[in-house]
Amino acid sequence: MDGAINLFKPSGITSFKATEQVKKITGAKKCGHGGTLDPLAEGVLPIFLNKATKIIPFLKNSEKSYVATIRLGIITDTMDSEGRVIEEVRDCEIPSIAKVEEIVKNFEGEIEQKPPVYSAVKYKGHKLYEYARKNIAVDRRARRVKINKIDIVFYEFPFLKINVICSSGTYIRSLADDIGRMLGCGGHISSLLRTRSGMFTLEDTITLEELKKRNGIDTDDKYFKKVDELLSDYKEARIPDTLKRNLLNGLPFSSEDIKGVSDKIKENEYLKVKDSNDKIIAIVQSVSKKSATGSEKNFIFKVKRVFN
């Protein structure tokens, strides 16, 4: 049973706890989640089972979608409603809808964003929240993220509800805090729903309660994605059985050894490799190498993950 469950994580538990519950329910030997959701947040949380856990690092750049409600006028230390109130802005001018629209649209595109003080981003080997709990201030370096689109769903002060489509690594808590400060009244996340994480959508999720009621996992159901589906965007190559053992032992091979490449290969590109039984056995990365004559480009493929 190798693949991923599209779990609906409820608000109030950590992503780690949700993953542990799925592991217990399914009896999987290994489990891991893709794209952490804060305890307050709910929605799409892909849980990878067994051999599929090896794929997680290769799916980190997937686009995300959220519905966020911002409570304006109150600033908390965690940038959400679970934190301690550090400032309540009582005398701010209530922003007009025109002002809100102007400010919100300014965040579309590539932006520099500092991660929240209470986050799992690491600084000198330790997570930021570990420093925050000890009241130690550290330099939170801004990271470049991309907000593809923001739409206002509802606005009636002090509540602002938005739809956000963004790159992986974007902190919606930081976005809410920044929007609040730009409006001159501060703000924090009061509710957060993730509606999409790459190929995983809200419509195809399954709850922990529903998962418990099932007699095992139906790998053909919409909430489950097999390894081949998870790597559907990857170009495909086939290797002869004579080289399969070498590949599974991590030995590199050249482009001359590959059959049935599904599309033109680029340098530093990841490919999924299948055997003669149409089974994915590895993920490899292309490294350029000039031919003996130097007139044409060849490739050496380095093994990044094997599935054996």
Going by C-alpha positions, the residue among 100, 189, 186, 178 that lies closest to residue 145 is 178
- CA–CA dist 154, 76 (Å, integer): 22
Check if 257 is active-site. no
φ and ψ at residue 100, rounded to 5 degrees: -60, -45
Asked if residue 208 lies in contact with residue 7, where contact means CB atoms within 8 angstroms, the answer is yes
Residue 112 buriedness (CB in 10 A; 0-12 / 13-18 / 19+)? exposed
- CA–CA dist 107, 110 (Å, integer): 8
* Tokens found for residue 230: 């998870």
Q: Select which of 38, 80, 177, 178 is catalytic.
A: 38
CB atoms within 10 A of CB 38: 24
For 60, 236, 246, 283, 303, the CA distances from 257, given in Å and listed in that order, are 29, 13, 12, 15, 14
Residue 133 buriedness (CB in 10 A; 0-12 / 13-18 / 19+)? exposed
Helix (H) or strand (E) holding 3: strand 3-9
Asked if residue 267 lies in contact with residue 289, where contact means CB atoms within 8 angstroms, the answer is no
Helix (H) or strand (E) holding 191: strand 187-197
Question: Which positions are annotated as active-site residues?
Answer: 38
